[in-house]
Amino acid sequence: MGGFTEANLRALAGVRSFKRGLGYLDAVSGVEVGDGWVTATVHGTERYEVELTLDGPGEPAGECDCPYGLEGNFCKHLVALGLTVLARSESLPRQRKAARDRARDLDAWLSELSKDELLVLVREQVAEDRQLRRRLELRAASARGDLAEVRARVRELLDIGPFAQYGYVEYADAGAYSDQAGQAVSAIRALTGSGRAADAIILAREAMQLLAEVLESVDDSDGRLGQVGGHLADAHREACCAARPDPEELARWLVGHVLGDADDLTDIDPLDYEDVLGERGMTALRKLAVEAWRGNRTGWAEKYLMERLAKAGGDVEAVIAVHAADLAPNGHTHLVIARELDTAGRPDEALRWAERGVRDARDPAAVDTALVDYLCDRYAQAARLPDVVALRRDHFGARRTLLAYQQLRAAARAAECWQAERERAVALLRADAGRRQQGWYGGPVLVDALLDDKDVDAAWQAATETGAHDRQWLTLADRVRADRPADALGVYVRLAEPLTRQTGNAVYEQLVRLLLSIRDCHQRLGTPDEFTAYITALRTLQKRKRNLMRLMDEHGL
C-alpha cells in the first residue's frame, strides 16, 4: 500500500469529512480488492459505489458517486472504505496477488477460446446486460455506416421520456439518464474512430441541441449531465480534427453555437479549433464575431466572444472598444478597461479611464469601491496624497460607512490633515444619527466611528443622545467597565433582561456572559451582596431551564 495511511486519509478528506467517515465504518459492504484498487458499497442517504486507487502516480485517490464525491471531493464514504482497508492491511497483499492471478487466468482462458466460443460468450452477456447490448448495437450500426440507425439510437438515448415523471427527470433518476446520455457520446466517438468523422460531426451537433432542449427538464444538481456536455464538445472537436470540415462553415457554426442556448451545456471555446480553422477559418470567425457584436453590443455572449478573440490576437484597442460600448453606470467597466491598459503597459491612459469612471458615475453612492481603491493606490504611488484624501472624502460623503470612514482616516493621516477631516466627517455622521430613529438596524455609524477612534467618552455621549444598537451598547459597556462600572452595570442588566424570557443554548451562553460582566461590575462597586440577591432571584425564576442552570453552575454563578 506504499504510503497509504490514516494520515493520508485525514489530509485528503479534511477534518470534517474524516470525522464523519468514522461513523460509516459499519456501512461498508461488498469490498472487492483488485490489483491497485479497492471497491465497495457504502450505505448512506443512498447506496453509493466507492473506489479507492492505491497505486497511482501521486497520493492515493478515490471516486464516489455521492453528490459531494461527484464534485471531485474525497468524501466521508471514501474515508470509511479507506479505514476499512487499513483495518485489513495484513491480508491486503494476499488479496491483491489473488486479484492479479485471477486477471491473468481470465486473460489466458479468453485467449484460448475459439471465435465461435467467444461469440457464444458475448451473446450470453448481451442477453443479460441491456447496457452492453445497446453499446454493441451502436457499434454495429456505426460499422455498417448506417447513419440513420445511429442517429435514431442517439436520439433514443437522449430521450428523457423513460426517466421523466410529468415531463421532469428528478434527482433520483438524473444519474441514470446521464449515464445513458454518455453512451450517445461514446457512439459518436466510435464513428470518428471507425473513419466516419464527418458523420460524427453531424450527430455531435444534433446531440448538443437535443441536450440543450432537455437541460431545464433534468435535476442536474450533481453536474453529471454537464460533464456529458463537456465530453460531447470534446467528441465534436475530435471529429473536426479528423474530418477537417470547411473552415468557413465551421466558423459559422461555432459563432452560432457560442451565441446560442446550447453553449450553456458544452462551453465550447472557438479558439480550441484554431488549428482546424486555419487562417481562412479564423478570419471568418473574427468577421462573424464582429458582426454579431455590432448587432448586439450589450449581449453578454457577444461581448465575451469579441473580448476572447481580441485578447487572443493581442488587440487591446478591440478589447477596450468592446467594454466601452456598454459602460456600467457605477464605473466597474472603466476599471476593467484601466486594468487592461495597465497590462498593456499604458498606465497614463489607464488612469484617465479610471478617473472618468468616478466622474461619470450617475450615483456617487453606487461607485464601485474597487475603482475608488484603484485610483487611491495610483495617486498614492505618485505621491498625490491630497488627491487621495479628496477622493476618500467624496467617497465617504456618498457612502458614510465605517469602512469609508476608516479609509478616509488612513488617507488623511498619511497627508497629515486628519484633525480637520475628522471634524467634517464626524459632523456628517452626527447629522445622520440625528435623522435616524433609535433602534435602526446596526446602530448609528457615528457610534462605531467614535469607538474605532478610541474616543469612548464621545461614543457614549453620542449613543446617549442619538440612540445606539444593543451591539454598540455592549461594546461601550465593555470599554467603560473598568472606569465606570455603574454605567456599564446598567447596560448589562438591561441587555440581560429580555434574554431571561428566551430559550435555547445560544441564548443561555449569551446570558451567562452578561451575568459574568454584571458580577464583575458589582465587585468593582463593592456591592457583592446585591449581585447575590440578583442571582438568587434569577435562579428562582429560571430554575426550569436545566441547561441554563448547568451553565451557571459551571461558571460559579
Separation in Å, CA 552 to CA 13, 257, 384, 492, 507: 38, 67, 58, 16, 13
The strands making up 37-43's β-sheet, listed across from edge to edge, are 28-33, 37-43, 47-53, 61-64
What is the residue type of 503?
T
* Predicted pLDDT at 87: 87
With a cut of 90, say whether residue 537 has pLDDT above it.
yes
d(CA 316, CA 337): 9
What span, in angstroms and rounded, lies between the C-alpha atoms of 184 and 138? 9
Paired strand residues for 62: 52
Within 13 Å and on the Cβ side, how many CA atoms surround 194? Answer: 19
Bridge partners of 28, per DSSP, are: 42
Residue whose C-alpha is closest to residue 485's, from 447, 538, 456, 523:
523
Phi and psi, residue 28, nearest 5°: -90, 130
Task: Name the average pLDDT for the chain.
Answer: 89
Euclidean distance between CA atoms 209 and 207, whole angstroms: 5
CB atoms within 10 A of CB 200: 28
Alpha-carbon distance values, 241 to 235, 244, 406, 407 (Å): 10, 6, 58, 55
- In angstroms, the CA 346 to CA 277 distance is 33
d(CA 338, CA 327): 13
Q: Which long-range contacts (CB under 8 A, 24 or more apart) does 291-297 make?
A: 292/255, 292/259, 293/322, 293/325, 297/325, 297/326
Helix (H) or strand (E) holding 49: strand 47-53
- Identify the pLDDT of residue 438: 43
Query: Is it the case that residue 134 has pLDDT exceeding 80?
Result: no
| pLDDT value of position 417 | 96
Section 184-206 average pLDDT? 90
Q: What is the pLDDT of residue 2?
A: 52
Residue 519's pLDDT band (boundaries 50, 70, 90)? very high
**Confidence at residue 461, expressed as pLDDT on a 0 to 100 scale:** 94
Note whether 197 and 239 are within 8 A (CB).
yes
What pLDDT, on the 0 to 100 scale, is given for residue 3?
58
- For residue 10, pLDDT over 90 is answered with no
What pLDDT shows up at residue 439? Answer: 42
- In this predicted model, which residue has the larger pLDDT, 15 or 461? 461
pLDDT at 274 over 60: yes
Whether residue 216 contacts residue 168, with contact meaning beta carbons closer than 8 Å, is answered with no
Grid coordinates representing 538 are 434569577
Q: Residue 85: pLDDT above 60?
A: yes
Separation between Cα atoms, residue 497 and residue 538, nearest integer Å: 10
pLDDT for residue 441: 63
The ranges assigned to domains in the chain are: 6-112, 481-557
Instruction: Please state which of the ranges 91-100, 129-138, 419-428 shows the lowest mean pLDDT.
Output: 129-138
Examine the pLDDT at 116 and tell me if it is beyond 80.
Answer: yes
User: pTM to 2 decimals?
Assistant: 0.66
pLDDT value for 69: 83
Of the listed ranges 73-82, 261-270, 465-474, 500-509, the least confidently predicted one is 261-270
Question: What single-letter DSSP state applies at residue 165?
Answer: B
Task: Please check the confidence at residue 15 and state whether its pLDDT lies above 80.
Answer: yes
Of the candidates 248, 272, 262, the one whose C-alpha atom is nearest the C-alpha of residue 207 is 262
Mean pLDDT of 402-430: 95
Q: How far is CA 534 from CA 424, 544, 546, 555, in A?
A: 45, 17, 19, 16
pLDDT (tens digit per residue) in 35-81:
778 888 998 778 888 998 877 655 678 888 888 887 778 889 999 99
pLDDT tens digits, 444-456: 999 999 999 999 9
Q: What is the reported pLDDT for 136?
A: 76
CB 215 within 8 A of CB 223: no
Q: Please give the residue that has the higher pLDDT: either 190 or 209.
A: 209
Residue 163 has pLDDT above 70, yes or no: yes
* pLDDT tens per residue across span 236-257: 999 999 999 999 999 999 999 9
**pLDDT for 110:** 86
Query: pLDDT tens across 371-415, in order?
Result: 999 999 999 999 999 999 999 999 999 989 999 999 999 999 999
* Residue 529 CB contacts under 8 Å (≥ 6 apart), including other chains: none
Our CA dihedral for 377, 381, 386, 391, rounded to 10 degrees, sits at -20
Pairing of strands 37-43, 47-53: antiparallel
Which residues does 3 contact at the CB level (< 8 Å), separation at least 6? 59, 60
In the predicted model, is pLDDT for residue 350 greater than 70?
Answer: yes
For range 8-19, the mean pLDDT? 86
Angle 23-24-28 from CA coordinates, rounded to 5°: 155
Query: φ and ψ at 155, to 5 degrees?
Result: -60, -40
* Phi, psi values for residue 467, rounded to 5°: 90, 160
The reported pLDDT for the residue numbered 245 is 94
H helix intervals, 194-298: 197-214, 224-243, 247-258, 263-266, 274-295
3-state secondary structure 509-536: HHHHHHHHHHHHHHHHHCCHHHHHHHHH
Which of 163-177, 319-333, 387-401 comes out lowest in average pLDDT?
163-177
DSSP 494: H
Q: Is the pLDDT of residue 135 over 80?
A: no
pLDDT of 17 reads 87
Residue 510 has pLDDT above 60, yes or no: yes
Q: What local confidence, expressed as pLDDT, does residue 59 receive? A: 67
Residue for cell digits 458589582? Answer: 522
- The span from the CA of 292 to the CA of 286, in Å, is 10
Q: In whole angstroms, what is the distance from residue 255 CA to residue 299 CA?
A: 14
3-state secondary structure of 218: strand
Q: pLDDT at position 152, please?
A: 87
Other Cβ atoms within 10 Å of 167 Cβ, number: 9
Q: 195's torsion region: left (phi>0), alpha (psi -120 to 50) or beta? A: left
